C-alpha cells in the first residue's frame, strides 16, 4: 500500500477562502425564507460587517506580504499573490449574492410589510421632497464640510470606513475646467432618515447620502454639479507593535490607534454607475489597482440595515426575544460561594443567565471574608458591571489584580479606558504580556473561611462580557477544587511576574503546553484503536487551521478513529479523502446565537476526557496566546457537556455539513424530525427552571 503523505498541500483548504465560505453561510441565513424578515436583514448586515473586518485585517496582511516580497506558501500551497487573486474572485461572487438578496428578496418583502426603503428621489411625493430638503438645511447642512481639490488644496485624507460623496464640478466662470470635490457623510447623524408617509401604518426611509447628493449645489455655489456618487475606502487596520522596544505599551498602542484611520487603502467601494472620470481620480489618489475596486449595485455598506432590526411595531418580523434562564444549581437563598461549595456548577450561555458570573464578582467585592480577586479581561461590555464591581472591591480594601488585554483587536481603545479606570480605583492592572495576547478566561477569588483559605474559580470559553453573553453560546464552570485553585494561583503569578510552575494539576496552558496536550490526546485515540479499542473524538470550536493538528487528525482517521467536528468558521481540513479523512465529519452551525464555545471530547477507551477552553485549533491560539483549557471533572457535568455535543451533532435545521467537494450543504431532513440545537437548548433551559421551581418551591428573584 502506498504511503500517504499527510503533508501534501492538496489535503488542506486555504484559510481565507474557507472564511469566505463561512460568511456565505451567514448570508444563507439572510436568504432563508423560513426565518423572520428582520432577522434575515440582520444576517445580511452581519455579512457586510464580517467582510469589512476580513479586508482590514486578513487581506491587509496578505498585501503586506506581497509588498515585502514574501513568497512562502500557506498550508494549501498558495502564496500571498495567489491568495489575493482567489479572494478577489470569491469576494466578488459573495458581494453579488449579497446585493441580489437585498434587492430581489428583502426590499420587496419589506415593502409588503409596509417598510419602504426609497432609493430614488423620483419616487417621493412633493410633500416628502419638501420635508427632505428642509431636513437637509436644518440638520445636515450645518454639519457638512465640503472639500475641493485644486493646486492649493491637496486631496484630503479619507478616513477608514467612512462613507463619502465624490463630485465633479464645473465653475460658472471658468467653464473649461472641472474640479474634484468630496464630502464626508456625517457619522453622527442617522443614515436612515425617516420621512413622513400618507399611510400612518407605513414606515418610509431614505438614505442620508441621497439627501446630501440632491442638495450638493447648496455646498458649492457658483459651480455646476456635473455628477456625484458615494464611495467608501477600506484601509489596513492591522498594526504591529515592537513590544520589546516599547517603553510604555499603553502609550504605544494609543499612538498606533491614531494611525489606523490612515493605513494603506486596500479596497474602494463605489456606486456601480459612477462616472469614469470620478473613478479615475479616486483610483489614482488612493493608489489602488482595478481588482481593489468594487462597483456596488445598491447602498454602499449594508451594515446600515442593522438599524432596522429594533423597529417598533414589527415584532411579527422577529424571533420572540429569548430571556436567559436561571441556573437551577444556584440557590438564591445562599451566596454564590456556598453554592460552589455544594459542587461544581456548569453554566451554558446564553440559554442560562450570565448573572451568576456577575454576582461572583459583585459578592466578592462586598464580602468581608474575601481577601483578593484576580481576573483576566479580553473584551467587556460598554457599561460593564464587572468593571464596576472590581473597582468597588479595590475601594473596599481587597487586593485586586486585573489583566486587561490591550491588544484585543478593535477593542484596544475600549480596553485602555477600562484599564485606566481600574487603576484609578486602586486595582493592580497588567497590560498583557510582551509578544503574547492573553485570551484566557479566568477569575479567582481568595476567601478566608473557618477551615482556612479557600480559592473559588470561574473558568469559561467566552469573554467576561454581559452583553455578548446574551447572544454568544459559551460554557463556564465554577469550582472550588483545591487542585484547580492551585493552578489558578499559578496562572496569575505567571501573568504578573516571572513565576512558572514545574507542573500543573488540571489546567493546560498555551503557548507552552497546550499544543503538546492536544497532540497527545489525539495520538492516544490512535493507539487505542491499534490496541483493538474504540477511538472517538468530538471537537467543537470556532476555527480549525493548524496544520499539525489537522495532520494528526488525518492520521487518526486513517487509523480508524471516528472524528466529528463542529467548526463554526474557518476549517482548513478536508473530508472524505480516501485513506486520509474518510472517518471525519465537519459541520458548521450558524443560527440566531453565535456558536462560540470550545469543547473537546476524547473517548479514551471508555474513560472519557472532556475539556472546555478559550482556544481554537489555530496557530495563534496554540503558539502566540495565553490560553487555558480545563477538564470537566464532575461526572454529572460531563453528561451535560456530552448532551450539548450530541444535540449539535443531530442538528438538521441550522447545521451545514462539509462535503468532499468543499461545499457546506444543509442536511436533507425529508421524513426526519427537525432538530434545531439552539431552540432545543432554549427549551431545555426553561424546563429545568420550571422543574426546579416545582420541586423546591423557590421563586427566582434576579439581582441587579
Residues that are catalytic: 439
DSSP 322: P
C-alpha cell at 189: 447623524
Report the sign of the C-alpha dihedral through residues 539, 541, 545, 548, in that order. negative
* Distance between CA atoms of residues 480 and 458, nearest Å: 9
Residue 702 CA neighbour count, 13 Å, CB half: 12
Residue 55 assigned as binding residue: no
Residue 379 assigned as binding residue: yes
**Do residues 326 and 352 lie in contact, with contact meaning Cβ atoms separated by under 8 Å?**
yes
C-alpha cell at 228: 456625484
Residue 515 assigned as binding residue: no
* Distance between CA atoms of residues 261 and 236, nearest Å: 8
C-alpha cell at 577: 479523502
The candidate with the shortest Cα–Cα distance to 498, out of 433, 442, 445, is 433
* Distance between CA atoms of residues 162 and 235, nearest Å: 10
DSSP 429: E
3-state secondary structure labels for all residues of 560-594: CCEEEEEECCCECECCCCCCCCCCEEEEEECCCCE
The candidate with the shortest Cα–Cα distance to 419, out of 438, 400, 406, 410, is 406
User: Could you tell me the CA-to-CA distances from 236 to 304, 412, 604, 639 in Å, in that order?
Assistant: 22, 16, 46, 46
**Do residues 583 and 557 lie in contact, with contact meaning Cβ atoms separated by under 8 Å?**
yes
C-alpha cell at 223: 459651480
279-289 burial, b at 16+ Cβ within 10 Å, e below that, comes to: bebbbebbebe
The C-alpha torsion from 550 through 552 and 554 to 556, rounded to 10°, is -140
C-alpha cell at 259: 494611525
C-alpha cell at 62: 496578505
* Distance between CA atoms of residues 257 and 295, nearest Å: 29
Q: Which helix (H) or strand (E) holds 226?
A: strand 223-235
Residue 596 assigned as binding residue: yes
Residue 505 assigned as binding residue: no
Helices (H), 287-396: 336-341, 355-366, 385-395
Name the β-bridge partners of 401: 374, 428
Number of H helices, E strands in the chain: 19, 27
Residue 628 CA neighbour count, 13 Å, CB half: 32
The candidate with the shortest Cα–Cα distance to 75, out of 10, 17, 3, is 10
* Distance between CA atoms of residues 162 and 369, nearest Å: 51
Residue 568 assigned as binding residue: yes
327-341 burial, b at 16+ Cβ within 10 Å, e below that, comes to: bbbbebeebbbebbe
Helices (H), 410-531: 412-424, 482-496, 514-530
C-alpha cell at 359: 454576582
Helices (H), 225-302: 249-260, 276-286
* Distance between CA atoms of residues 474 and 350, nearest Å: 7
* Distance between CA atoms of residues 524 and 656, nearest Å: 29
**Do residues 535 and 525 lie in contact, with contact meaning Cβ atoms separated by under 8 Å?**
yes
The candidate with the shortest Cα–Cα distance to 357, out of 340, 333, 334, is 340
Known binding positions for Mg(2+): 379, 409
Binding residues for ATP: 50, 472, 568, 596
Amino acid at each position: 500500500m502506498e504511503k500517504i503523505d499527510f503533508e501534501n498541500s492538496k489535503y488542506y483548504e486555504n484559510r481565507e477562502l474557507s472564511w469566505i465560505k463561512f460568511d456565505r453561510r451567514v448570508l444563507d441565513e439572510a436568504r432563508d425564507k423560513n426565518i423572520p424578515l428582520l432577522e434575515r436583514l440582520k444576517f445580511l448586515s452581519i455579512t457586510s460587517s464580517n467582510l469589512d473586518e476580513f479586508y482590514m485585517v486578513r487581506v491587509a496582511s496578505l498585501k503586506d506580504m506581497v509588498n515585502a516580497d514574501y513568497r512562502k506558501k500557506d498550508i494549501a500551497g498558495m502564496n500571498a499573490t495567489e491568495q489575493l487573486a482567489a479572494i478577489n474572485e470569491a469576494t466578488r461572487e459573495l458581494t453579488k449574492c449579497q446585493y441580489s438578496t437585498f434587492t430581489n428578496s428583502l426590499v420587496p418583502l419589506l415593502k409588503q410589510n409596509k417598510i419602504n426603503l426609497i432609493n430614488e428621489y423620483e419616487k417621493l411625493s412633493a410633500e416628502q421632497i419638501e420635508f427632505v430638503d428642509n431636513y437637509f438645511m436644518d440638520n445636515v447642512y450645518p454639519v457638512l464640510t465640503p472639500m475641493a481639490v485644486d493646486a492649493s488644496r491637496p486631496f484630503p485624507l479619507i478616513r477608514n470606513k467612512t462613507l463619502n460623496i465624490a463630485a465633479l464640478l464645473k465653475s460658472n466662470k471658468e467653464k473649461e475646467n472641472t474640479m474634484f470635490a468630496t464630502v464626508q457623510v456625517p457619522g453622527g447623524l442617522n443614515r436612515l432618515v425617516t420621512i413622513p408617509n400618507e399611510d400612518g401604518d407605513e414606515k418610509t426611509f431614505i438614505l442620508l447620502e441621497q439627501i446630501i447628493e440632491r442638495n450638493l449645489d447648496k455646498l458649492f455655489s457658483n459651480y455646476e454639479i456635473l455628477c456625484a456618487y458615494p464611495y467608501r475606502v477600506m484601509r489596513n487596520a492591522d498594526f504591529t507593535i515592537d513590544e520589546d522596544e516599547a517603553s510604555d505599551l499603553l502609550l504605544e498602542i494609543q499612538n498606533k490607534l491614531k494611525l489606523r484611520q490612515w493605513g494603506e487603502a486596500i479596497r474602494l467601494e463605489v456606486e456601480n454607475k459612477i462616472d469614469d472620470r470620478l473613478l479615475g481620480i479616486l483610483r489614482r489618489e488612493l493608489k489602488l489597482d482595478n481588482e481593489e475596486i468594487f462597483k456596488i449595485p445598491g447602498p454602499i455598506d449594508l451594515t446600515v440595515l442593522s438599524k432596522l432590526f429594533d423597529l417598533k411595531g414589527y415584532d411579527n418580523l422577529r424571533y420572540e426575544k429569548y430571556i436567559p434562564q436561571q441556573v437551577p444549581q444556584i440557590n438564591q437563598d445562599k451566596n454564590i460561594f456556598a453554592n460552589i461549595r455544594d459542587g461544581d456548577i456548569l453554566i451554558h450561555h446564553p440559554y442560562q443567565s450570565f448573572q451568576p458570573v456577575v454576582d461572583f464578582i459583585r459578592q466578592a467585592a462586598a464580602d468581608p471574608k474575601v481577601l483578593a480577586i484576580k481576573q483576566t479581561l479580553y473584551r467587556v461590555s460598554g457599561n460593564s458591571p464587572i468593571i464596576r464591581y472590581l473597582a468597588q472591591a479595590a475601594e473596599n480594601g481587597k487586593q485586586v489584580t486585573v489583566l486587561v488585554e490591550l491588544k484585543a483587536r478593535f477593542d484596544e481603545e475600549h480596553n485602555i479606558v477600562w484599564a485606566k479606570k481600574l487603576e484609578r480605583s486602586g486595582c493592580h492592572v497588567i497590560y498583557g504580556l510582551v509578544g503574547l495576547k492573553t485570551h484566557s478566561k479566568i477569575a479567582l477569588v481568595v476567601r478566608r473561611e473557618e477551615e482556612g483559605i479557600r480559592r473559588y474559580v470561574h473558568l469559561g470559553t467566552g469573554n467576561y462580557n454581559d452583553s455578548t453573553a446574551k447572544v454568544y453560546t459559551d460554557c463556564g464552570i465554577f469550582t472550588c477544587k483545591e487542585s484547580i485553585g492551585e493552578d489558578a494561583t499559578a496562572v496569575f503569578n505567571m501573568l504578573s511576574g516571572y513565576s512558572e510552575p514545574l507542573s500543573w494539576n488540571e489546567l493546560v496552558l498555551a503557548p507552552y503546553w497546550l499544543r503538546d496536550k492536544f497532540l497527545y490526546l489525539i495520538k492516544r485515540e490512535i493507539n487505542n484503536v491499534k490496541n483493538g479499542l474504540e477511538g472517538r473524538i468530538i471537537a467543537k470550536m470556532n476555527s480549525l487551521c493548524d496544520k499539525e493538528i489537522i495532520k494528526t487528525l488525518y492520521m487518526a482517521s486513517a487509523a480508524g478513529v471516528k472524528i466529528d467536528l463542529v467548526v463554526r468558521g474557518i476549517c482548513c481540513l478536508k473530508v472524505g479523502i480516501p485513506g486520509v479523512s474518510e472517518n471525519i465529519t465537519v459541520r458548521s452551525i450558524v443560527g440566531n446565537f453565535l456558536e462560540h464555545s470550545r469543547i473537546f471530547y476524547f473517548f479514551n477507551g471508555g474513560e472519557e476526557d472532556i475539556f472546555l477552553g478559550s482556544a481554537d485549533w489555530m496557530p495563534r491560539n496554540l503558539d502566540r496566546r495565553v490560553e487555558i483549557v480545563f477538564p470537566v471533572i464532575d461526572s454529572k457535568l460531563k453528561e451535560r457537556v456530552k448532551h450539548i455535543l450530541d444535540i449539535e451533532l443531530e442538528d438538521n435545521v441550522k447545521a451545514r455539513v462539509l462535503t468532499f467537494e468543499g461545499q457546506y450543504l444543509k442536511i436533507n431532513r425529508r421524513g426526519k424530525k427537525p432538530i434545531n440545537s439552539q431552540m432545543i437548548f432554549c427549551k431545555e433551559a426553561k424546563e429545568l427552571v420550571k422543574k426546579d421551581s416545582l420541586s423546591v418551591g423557590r421563586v427566582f428573584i434576579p439581582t441587579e
